[in-house]
Each structure stands twice: as C-alpha cells, then as structure tokens.
C-alpha cells in the first residue's frame, strides 16, 4: 500500500530570545509513516508535542532536524527544507489540515470559508459552494447561518465550519487537530463517518483526538508521542 | 515548479550617505503571490518598496522583472520612459495616503478612466462603463462617479485609489500601509476587498505594513525587516506562529490580543 508521508528523526525546540535565549526542547527522534487508507492517532498527554508535530507536518512550524517526506504530485518532497512556495503547493494539493480553531476572516460567509480550498484548487465557485453546502448540512449547521461570517458563531458552530473546510477537498493526506473537541454527540458521529469515508477513499489521516470514543472509532493505530520526548535522547 | 518568477531581487541595497536604508535584500516573487514586508518605522521597508517600484534608485544590487513577452528586464537599466510605461500599465502603487495616489480635484470616474486612457483607451462610453464597473467592484455607488474624491471619506478614497490602480489589469501591485489611518471596521472591509481582488485577478503584490494582522490576512509570505536588513522570512503563518529571530519574537509578542 502507498505510503504518502514518512517522518524520520525530526526534532523541534523553541528558543525564547525574550527570555535570555532559553531553549525549550519539544520533541526529538520523531519517526513514523502513514499509509493511504489508514487513520493514525498521535497519543500522549498534553504538552507531549502532539500539536507541534502536526504543525511541522503542515509547514506551520519550522523543523530543526530530520526529514518529512511527502508524496507530492509525481515526486517526493522534504517539507522540512522545502521553500515557502513549495509548502504552499503541498497545502493546496496534497496535505489538508483541520485546525482546532477557526481563524475567521472579516465579512467572508461561512459557505465561502468552506468553499475556498476547492476554489483554490481551480474548482468552479458555484460547484464549490454547493459541495460546501452539502457538507454543512451533513454537519447540521442551520442553513440560515451559511451566509454569515463565522466570527460570531459559537465554538461548536465554528468548528463545524472548520471541519467542512478541511473535508471538502480530496487531499491525499489529512491532518486533524482535535476536530471534535467542542461538538455534541450527534455531530461527533458525523465526523466519525466523514473520517471513515476518507479512509475508504484512500486518504492517509493523522489526528489528535482527546475524545476517547472518537479515538476508538477511527484509530487504526496510536503513535505514542512520549517516545519522542526531547529529554529521552541524549544530546 | 518550472514556471518563472515575476520579479527577481538580488542583493538590493540603498544607502543614504553612510546611513543604511536597506541592505542586501534578495527574494523572488511569483505571479499570484502576496509578500508582506513588516517591521517598525525606520526598518527600511518603505525604502525597499520605493526601490522595487523604481521610485528610488538603489545604491547597488539588481531587480529584474519578467515582461509580458516573457523576457526579464533589469529594472535599473531601463530608460525613465520605459519605467514610467511599466508603472502605468503593468504595475500599480497604492499609497498609504490616498491623496498621494489620486487626483483630488477631478471626478472619481475620471480618476479611474485616466489610467485607461494612459494605456490607449479612447472610447468615452467604454471608459465610463469600465469605470462604473470598477467603482462597483470597490463598493462605491455609481451615483458617486461624478463626485471628486475630496468629497469622499478616507475609506472610500482608499477604495477609489485601489480601483484606479487595478483598472489597467496590472500584474504587480505595490502597497504601502494600505489600511493605515483607517477605522478598524473600514480596515476590515478594505482588507476583505483586497483579498478578494488579489485572488480573483491572480495579482502579485508586495505589501508594506507594520500591522501583523494585515500581513496574516493578505499575504502568503513575509519578510521581517530591522535596521534595513531582513532578519527573518518565510511562510506568513510560519513566521507568525513560530518566530525564530529575536526581533520577530518581540514583534509577535507585542501584538495586542482582542
């Protein structure tokens, strides 16, 4: 089976220049790979570096050491050293990401927020909107909210907009950062079904789920992040 | 990734006597990309913008621009007339103060139409129709077309300046603090408008701003400048969420949370 994402020996630390340059190690020796059609889950307590790993895989955090090899278009790319322009292309075509919080843009409607990633991939705006509408309906977001900018929505409503935005495209790799954190049971089940559909479509998924039931329902295996604790590796 | 950049900048420096304006700035800009240049007053970002737009000649370094025929031309070796032509047709420049980019005593329609005439349009009806279309795209009612910008609010003036710049279908737009001096609600409207136009038209833009929120909303890439030098550059969200340089960390930690 195809393995579109291979992470090897990745290390990350933060240097806080405003606090006398102290160095906060986050993770080291991170190595794993994700196959198409499986959903792997990053496990470990808060502060273990799960979100940091996800953010490095999306190019949102810089990588100190190691490689993140991604199958992109017809070749392999090392995200750890890729140019900003390459990272943007990878995000547009290869890696999707559902963040924990929606970053809202003033005056853009919920429907357009959802449709945007498809439009960026060259889809017709009306087609993208109708797909977005279908997803929002599936996630039980009342239709009267679709035309409104999500800035004033509740946490759960914003998260559903965010999920729809992340699931609308056919990215072969999808990263999920606690997509169900503020959802009720009914909508959690919708997300579980959406994830199952992605798996069936051959998408490689990597997620963080604090919700035990969701994790049980979607995880094919758990990657224990405490094994990558930066302190464990002798410097 | 085989396509070529629109603008290639290499080791660009500008000195004012012994004082540094900007030093050794290099980057490539591709079509459709928005690059934000951030830093505080005096960091050299406006000097850089003025050099790139050839309003100022650099002390050393090169910048080459891919013309519509696909050939790269060295900006600082062009004749003054060629540069002016580029400025009128292929480029736009949005000033912080709309009065610097508009003619305040001719009508809004004429402000937009004038740029069209500069590129050779002569048909009055067509020019007026295009002007009306552009005014509506920047959300100015068509019954204001014969009013002078003097009678417009700050936000309207800025939108008019944007219409004036974009009407000729430029490929590269320079913006100097485009939302500076506007009320927050007016800023949001303008940002949203700019975002939409940049995406729809596939424009490349270089936006100078001291406002990191503006940079986050508008740009995909960012350069942080201090004392004339680029101290950090990269994807906008990477620079803002994982700032590496001491100065960038200071900037990011100084943002007021709402």
Say what percent of chain B tops pLDDT 90: 70
Confirm or reject contact between A89 and chain B (CB < 8 A): yes
CB atoms near residue A45 (< 10 Å): 8
Between A196 and B199, where is the model more confident? Answer: A196
Mean pLDDT over the full length of chain B: 91
CB atoms near residue B54 (< 10 Å): 20
Task: Evaluate whether B52 touches B174 at the Cβ level (below 8 Å).
Answer: yes
> How confident is residue A232, by pLDDT bands cut at 50, 70 and 90?
low
Predicted pLDDT at A231? 66
Q: Which of residues 126-155 of B touch A (CB under 8 A)?
A: none
- Shortest Cα distance from B134 to chain A (angstroms)? 20
Confirm or reject contact between A150 and chain B (CB < 8 A): no
- Shortest Cα distance from A14 to chain B (angstroms)? 8
Task: Evaluate whether A80 touches A66 at the Cβ level (below 8 Å).
Answer: yes
Mean pLDDT of B193-218: 88
Beta bridge partners of residue A76, listed in sequence order = A71
Report the greatest alpha carbon distance in chain B. 56
With a cut of 80, say whether residue B2 has pLDDT above it: no
CA distance A67 to A219: 24
Best residue in A11, A77, A84 to probe B by mutation, most B CBs within 10 Å? A84
Q: Which of B1, B170, B4 is nearest to A88 (CA)?
A: B1
With a cut of 70, say whether residue B31 has pLDDT above it: yes
Predicted pLDDT at A1? 62
> How confident is residue B113, by pLDDT bands cut at 50, 70 and 90?
very high
Predicted pLDDT at A117? 92
With a cut of 70, say whether residue A89 has pLDDT above it: yes
Mean pLDDT over the full length of chain A: 93
Contact B238 A62 (CB under 8 A): yes
> How confident is residue A168, by pLDDT bands cut at 50, 70 and 90?
very high
- Shortest Cα distance from B153 to chain A (angstroms)? 20
Option in A17, A88, A106 nearest B188 (CB): A106
Which tokens hold the place of B41?
Answer: 């007053």
Contact A60 B237 (CB under 8 A): yes
Q: Which of A203, A195, A206, A172 is nearest to A71 (CA)?
A: A172
Could you write out the DSSP letters of every residue in A115-165? HHHHHHTT--HHHHHHHHHHHHHHTT--GGGTTS-GGGS-HHHHHHHHHHH
Mean pLDDT of A168-195: 94
> How confident is residue B196, by pLDDT bands cut at 50, 70 and 90?
confident
With a cut of 70, say whether residue B49 has pLDDT above it: yes
CA distance A84 to A73: 17
Report CA torsion sign: A35, A36, A38, A43: positive
Confirm or reject contact between B255 and chain A (CB < 8 A): no
Q: How many residues does chain B have?
A: 258
Contact A61 B195 (CB under 8 A): no
Contacts of A108 in chain B (CB under 8 A): 192
Mean pLDDT of B30-45: 93
Q: Which of B197, B191, B195, B187 is nearest to B165 (CA)?
A: B197
Q: What are phi and psi of B204, to 5 degrees?
A: -95, 145
Only one residue has tokens 């190019």, namely: A59
**CB hemisphere CA count around A55 (13 angstroms):** 22
> How confident is residue B258, by pLDDT bands cut at 50, 70 and 90?
low
ipTM above 0.85, yes or no: yes
Task: Evaluate whether B112 touches B129 at the Cβ level (below 8 Å).
Answer: no
């Amino acid at each position: 089976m195809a393995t579109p994402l291979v992470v090897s020996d990745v290390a990350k630390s933060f240097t806080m220049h405003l606090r006398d340059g102290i160095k906060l190690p986050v993770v080291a020796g991170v190595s794993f790979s994700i196959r198409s059609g499986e959903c792997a889950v990053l496990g470990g307590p808060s502060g273990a570096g799960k979100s940091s790993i996800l953010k490095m895989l999306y190019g949102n955090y810089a990588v100190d050491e190691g490689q993140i090899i991604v199958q992109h278009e017809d070749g392999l790319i090392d995200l750890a050293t890729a140019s900003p322009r390459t990272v943007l292309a990878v995000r547009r075509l290869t890696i999707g990401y559902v963040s924990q919080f929606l970053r809202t843009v003033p005056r853009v409607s919920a429907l357009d927020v959802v449709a945007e990633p498809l439009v960026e991939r060259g889809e017709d705006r009306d087609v993208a909107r109708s797909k977005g509408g279908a997803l929002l309906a599936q996630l039980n977001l009342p239709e009267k909210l679709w035309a409104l900018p999500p800035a004033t929505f509740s946490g759960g409503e914003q998260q559903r907009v965010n999920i729809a935005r992340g699931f609308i495209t056919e990215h072969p790799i999808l990263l999920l950062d606690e997509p169900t954190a503020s959802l009720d049971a009914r909508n959690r089940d919708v997300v579980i079904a959406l994830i199952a559909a992605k798996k069936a479509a051959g998408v490689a998924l990597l997620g963080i789920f604090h919700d035990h039931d969701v994790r049980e329902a979607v995880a094919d295996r758990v990657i224990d992040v405490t094994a990558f604790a930066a302190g464990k590796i002798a410097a | 990734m085989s396509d070529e950049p629109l603008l290639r900048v290499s080791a660009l420096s500008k000195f004012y006597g012994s004082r540094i304006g900007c030093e050794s700035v290099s980057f490539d800009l591709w079509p459709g990309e928005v690059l934000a240049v951030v830093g505080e007053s005096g960091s050299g970002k406006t000097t850089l913008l003025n050099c790139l737009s050839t309003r100022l000649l650099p002390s050393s370094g090169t910048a080459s621009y891919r013309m519509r025929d696909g050939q790269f031309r060295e900006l600082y070796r062009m004749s003054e007339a060629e540069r002016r032509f580029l400025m009128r047709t292929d480029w736009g420049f949005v000033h912080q103060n709309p009065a610097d980019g508009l003619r305040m005593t001719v009508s809004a329609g004429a402000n937009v139409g004038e740029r069209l005439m500069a590129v050779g349009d002569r048909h009055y009806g067509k020019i007026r129709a295009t002007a009306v279309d552009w005014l509506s795209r920047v959300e100015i009612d068509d019954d204001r077309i014969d009013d002078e910008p003097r009678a417009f609010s700050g936000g309207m003036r800025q939108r008019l300046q944007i219409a004036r710049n974009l009407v000729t279908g430029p490929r590269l737009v320079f913006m100097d603090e485009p939302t500076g001096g506007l009320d927050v609600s007016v800023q949001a409207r303008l940002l949203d408008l700019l975002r939409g136009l940049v995406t729809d038209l596939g424009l490349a833009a270089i936006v100078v701003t001291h406002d990191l929120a503006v940079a986050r909303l508008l740009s995909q890439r960012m350069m942080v400048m201090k004392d004339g030098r680029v101290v950090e550059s990269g994807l906008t969200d990477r620079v803002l969420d994982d700032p590496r340089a001491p100065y960038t960390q200071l900037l990011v930690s100084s943002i007021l949370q709402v």
